[in-house]
A and B are shown apart, each in its own frame.
Chain A
Amino acid sequence: MNTRGPRQLLSEVQQAGLCVGCGSCVELCPYFRSHGGKTVMLHDCDLSEGRCHAWCPKTELDLESLAQALWGEAYAPAGVGPCLSVAAAQAGPALGEGVYQGGGVVSALAAAALELGMVDGVVLTGGEALEPTPIVARNLAEIKACTGSKFAAAPTLAALNRTQAAGGERLGVVATPCQGAALAQRGLKPVNQEAPTNPADLVLGLFCNWALDPRGLAAFLASRVELKRIRSMDIPPPPAGVLVVRTDHETLEIPLDEIRGLVPPGCAICPDMTSEWADLSVGMFEGRPGWNTLIVRSEKGRDLAEAALERGWLVLEEMPKSNWEHLDGAAQGKRLRGLRAANQQGLLGTADDPEPKALRVGAQLMAQIEKATGEEA
């Protein structure tokens, strides 16, 4: 777990094509900014160690150390990661009317966390479908303005960095797995100054298979629809296999195979489908439109879920075993795919490998993961 500087971040991540534009390095300093889904270094910085490198989810992500630091337990070789409970969930009446992706559980949890005073604001991804921009929502209306999946990588953590720099606020973050990993790295790797030991006060994780390069997606869609008229985008659960793009006057179904080339290469080495480093994780619920899967991981997460249920922000139902097994298998599939891809590209190392690595997993754990996947299959 070596921390290096911004120049190395540039060569190991941006120039290597691994950057997923999560925003972890953006606005920590004046050097890194995000524009149009791309993270760029505006000016040269010659520090030998920087938070940009230390916290990037595509450098030195040591799964075992991270699990020990965050959960106080070993990294689980199978399943969906730390889990106190799992349930089918839907937003409760407290959230009110609105257009939500799935069951509206993310919005409901964010609103509940605000109401309960767990956080002063929640960092969300707002903006247009093709121009996702991070915002800090401090009330229900602001949360509702951000509903809807974006499918394009968003520099959400930039808003966290910007707001934290101003100081004083407790913030929750709605995070993709890469963003969750970036937040987890913060507790682990203090750099050059007093470390923020509490990098975010609440992490609401999102399930994620991959994101799309916003510029590439915009260029791709521009040849089919008038970009200004796009109102929403959605990827319905399998076996649909399409990206649904709704405009003012038409609905377009684009086979996923046609857009897979727009997935940033950094997504291919991601071993995390269910946002394992979050307090709670939320995803689609297969086969039941209007519902979400909710995984409660931490005690803080459990407190929020319970209070949300009590106050009418959430409706929970037991999750059928078949769904549970299917989710487990899907999560394990991505874990193994990501680690194998990283290994093939020379980006996977063990804890004591002196070379710079994107991901680190001990040989023993890797064998356990391989074995567990075999059993699943």
Chain B
Amino acid sequence: MSNLDMTPGQRHTVMGNQAICRGALEAGVRVVAGYPGTPSSEIIENLARAADEYGLYVEWSVNEKVSLEVAAAGSLAGMRSLCAMKQNGVNVASDFLLHLAGSGVRAGMVLVHCDDPGALSSVNEGESRHFARMLELPQLEPGDFQEAKDMTKWAFELSEELGQVVMLRSVTRLSHASGGVVAGPLPQGEAKARFEHHGTLLDTNRGPVSSAPVSVKHARQQEKLARAVELFEQSPFNTYQGPEEPELLVITSSICQLYVKEALAMLDAAGRVGVLKLGTTWPLPPKLIQKNLQRCGRIMVVEEVIPFLEENLKILAAEMAAEVGPKEFLAKREGYIPSTGELNPDLVAEALARALDIQYQPRPAEYAALAQAAAPSTDSPRELAFCPGCPHRASFWSLKNALALDGRDGFICGDIGCYAMGARPSNYGILKTLHAMGSGTGLASGFGQLGRFGMDQPVMAVSGDSTFYHAVIPALINAVHQRSPMSLVVLDNSGTAMTGFQPHPGTQNNAMGQPVPPVDLEAVCRTLGAEVTVCDPFDLEATREAALKMLADQSKAKVLILRQLCALSPERKGKKLYDVQVDPDKCLGGQCGCNRFCTRAFGCPGLTWERETGRASIDEVICAGCGVCASVCPAGAITKTERG
């Protein structure tokens, strides 16, 4: 049973990402690929679980570019295919996407890209809609859960009609929230894959597939966009609601349309404002836009992060100025809508109130006072810390010690994964750079070369195992080849832990649960010519010594693999390795010689400082039983007993 099983004609409450999956199933999707990344991960996960039942091929690819290539292969062989990734995944995939846009596709192919305005689960709030304009591809944006399902299904049809990839954008609040969706029927019948390639290069359906000859293919690509515009003019996903001649026209898309509806209700202003909700946001259908711009002179554009719709609308408004007259825009550039962070009904209501000259206070003062009074006063601000038993804490503890002992003010370049939290003070603030997947190793490769300019700080990079396969390998090859004196520490917790333990090339099962040969991380590094050391990060001394040795060797690139299962991994979760106890008679507490070393310096949440007794203790409920704190205690007061 899959959670995509729904009864046609009936309403189900589903998550946005589930709705997208159901739409793909209703479109008869066959080939699905992606790389994990919040908020997109559940799309591949749900389809992977449904793979057997619905006869799909689903994979977690090594990275987003490869996932797009895998999905494209399906399409070129006549299988409807879907590719899913988070916003910055589109950056990774964009090189292939540029060329695929030039060559076109055959069976319907949809790229679902989930943006994360407000960077709730990201280190960026990149806006991936701009790729649609830059690479000349059609862009769709569902505005609610039903649309998420319906537009996904339609996206495949559109893709097939155009012979082009269609981009479908979700955002965190659509992907991860739940709402009502009426299911549709599933298609019947078998599909047979075959790649036709005996025709000429210009034969779209039977020839070899390439973006060359560019002069012909690029022109065709633009014809496809022109056809998309014709279809978008009639699209039921573009709707207008409100008076025929409103005081203000709001143009919006995506989940923002719900914020607008809610804000208008809050302001009781629905009778004064017209709302043009666009589902097809690139290219914009000019006739539809012209018709709506003629409704009034003041236009507010409600969208998140940078002004994509706004700028495109302003261009159209300028082009049709003779017909629609001058317009006053009230959007980001005019300071009505913020250009960073998520929107919400309050922010939209504030903008609308200002535009409509309504007195409005998003949160009345008495409510704020009541809320404060109701909040428990003992709550203290909580830092993001690694879980109890997390191997990353042990790893970073030893790396911190090694860097301090080395004493040359060395530093670590961070990367993307749970371990990115190593940049936070609660996790020793040990990571000093943090960018894109694989960038830590690339940066370290570069820093390593600066000794010739007098830089005497040693440099390390960290990478998770999944990140290693995704984008670190080329950077490591570079470091080895350029003989950069850097050290790469692979924090191998045996899964894509941050996004929910998706398999990766180093694991023994694929997305569909079938056994696959794991790619040996250690052997890969050795083959690349790096000196490799493997350590258990729970062995603090061995890890520290290995790291110190690597820091001392300034002659080449080296790899230290710190291998230990994530405490939340399905194999480890709930199973304690040790029973851990504190002997209060031995505990030095706040005295000179300790000064609450375990709770204050090491900082595992499984350790508790007992204010009354002035001693540390183990929180049995939280402790994951890794036993590392026993090695940290200076007084031997923490003991660990192996569990049978």
Do A and B make up one complex? yes
The stretch of B130-138, B170-178, B206-214, B403-411 that contacts the partner chain: B403-411
Q: State whether B597 touches A30 (Cβ < 8 A).
A: yes
Contacts of B591 in A (CB 8 A): 192-193
Contacts of A28 in B (CB 8 A): 592-593
**Measured between C-beta atoms, what is the minimum distance from A20 to chain B in Å?**
15
Q: State whether B595 touches A29 (Cβ < 8 A).
A: yes
Measured in the bound complex, the distance between the Cα atoms of B397 and A43 in whole Å is 10
Q: State whether A192 touches B592 (Cβ < 8 A).
A: yes
SS of A interface (majority):
loop
Q: Mark B570-585, 1 if CB is under 8 A from A, else 0.
A: 0000000000000000
Q: State whether A29 touches B601 (Cβ < 8 A).
A: no
The stretch of A34-42, A112-120, A352-360 that contacts the partner chain: A34-42
State which residues 143-201 of A face B: CB under 8 Å. 191-193
The 10 A-B residue pairs whose C-beta atoms are closest, nearest first, are A35-B405, A192-B592, A43-B601, A30-B634, A42-B404, A29-B593, A38-B407, A50-B592, A40-B404, A45-B595
A51 within 8 A of B: yes
Measured in the bound complex, the distance between the Cα atoms of B594 and A191 in whole Å is 13
Contacts of A50 in B (CB 8 A): 592
Q: State whether A42 touches B595 (Cβ < 8 A).
A: no
**Measured between C-beta atoms, what is the minimum distance from B518 to chain A in Å?**
36
Residue of B nearest to A53 (CB): B592
Residue of A nearest to B598 (CB): A30
Measured in the bound complex, the distance between the Cα atoms of B400 and A281 in whole Å is 40
Measured in the bound complex, the distance between the Cα atoms of B595 and A51 in whole Å is 12
Measured in the bound complex, the distance between the Cα atoms of B601 and A193 in whole Å is 21
Among B591, B595, B634, the one with the most A-chain Cβ atoms within 10 Å of its Cβ is: B595
Contacts of B594 in A (CB 8 A): 29-30
Q: State whether B400 touches A42 (Cβ < 8 A).
A: yes
A44 within 8 A of B: yes
Among A47, A52, A193, the one with the most B-chain Cβ atoms within 10 Å of its Cβ is: A47
Contacts of A49 in B (CB 8 A): 592
Q: Mark B396-434, 1 if CB is under 8 A from A, else 0.
A: 000011001111000000000000000000000000000
- The verdict on A40 contacting B407 (CB below 8 Å), with A30-B597, A30-B634 known, is yes
State which residues 419-460 of B face A: CB under 8 Å. none
Residue of B nearest to A193 (CB): B591
A226 within 8 A of B: no
- The verdict on A35 contacting B407 (CB below 8 Å), with A30-B634, A43-B601 known, is yes
A302 within 8 A of B: no
Measured in the bound complex, the distance between the Cα atoms of B591 and A2 in whole Å is 18
- The verdict on A193 contacting B406 (CB below 8 Å), with A29-B634, A30-B632 known, is no
Chain A positions near chain B (C-beta within 8 angstroms)? 28-31, 33, 35-36, 38, 40-47, 49-52, 191-193
Contacts of A31 in B (CB 8 A): 595, 597, 601
A-B contact pairs, 13 of them (CB 8 A): A29-B595, A30-B597, A30-B601, A30-B632, A40-B407, A42-B400, A42-B401, A42-B405, A43-B597, A47-B592, A193-B591, A193-B592, A193-B593
Residue of B nearest to A29 (CB): B593
Q: State whether B407 touches A36 (Cβ < 8 A).
A: yes
B385 within 8 A of A: no
Q: Mark B342-379, 1 if CB is under 8 A from A, else 0.
A: 00000000000000000000000000000000000000
Contacts of A193 in B (CB 8 A): 591-593
**Measured between C-beta atoms, what is the minimum distance from A299 to chain B in Å?**
32
Measured in the bound complex, the distance between the Cα atoms of B634 and A45 in whole Å is 14
Contacts of B601 in A (CB 8 A): 30-31, 43-45
Q: State whether B407 touches A51 (Cβ < 8 A).
A: no
Q: Mark B604-644, 1 if CB is under 8 A from A, else 0.
A: 00000000000000000000000000001010000000000
Q: State whether A51 touches B400 (Cβ < 8 A).
A: no
Residue of A nearest to B594 (CB): A29
- Across the interface, A46 reaches (CB within 8 A) one of B400, B406, B593, B595, namely B595
Contacts of B592 in A (CB 8 A): 28-29, 47, 49-52, 191-193
Measured in the bound complex, the distance between the Cα atoms of B404 and A50 in whole Å is 20
**Measured between C-beta atoms, what is the minimum distance from B602 to chain A in Å?**
8
B316 within 8 A of A: no
**Measured between C-beta atoms, what is the minimum distance from A333 to chain B in Å?**
33
B528 within 8 A of A: no
Residue of B nearest to A6 (CB): B595
Contacts of B593 in A (CB 8 A): 28-29, 51, 193
- Across the interface, A41 reaches (CB within 8 A) one of B404, B406, B634, namely B404
Besides the known contacts A42-B405, A44-B601, 15 further A-B residue pairs in the complex with CB atoms under 8 A apart? A29-B592, A29-B594, A29-B597, A30-B601, A33-B405, A35-B548, A36-B407, A40-B404, A42-B400, A43-B400, A45-B595, A46-B595, A47-B595, A192-B591, A192-B592
Q: State whether B406 touches A35 (Cβ < 8 A).
A: yes
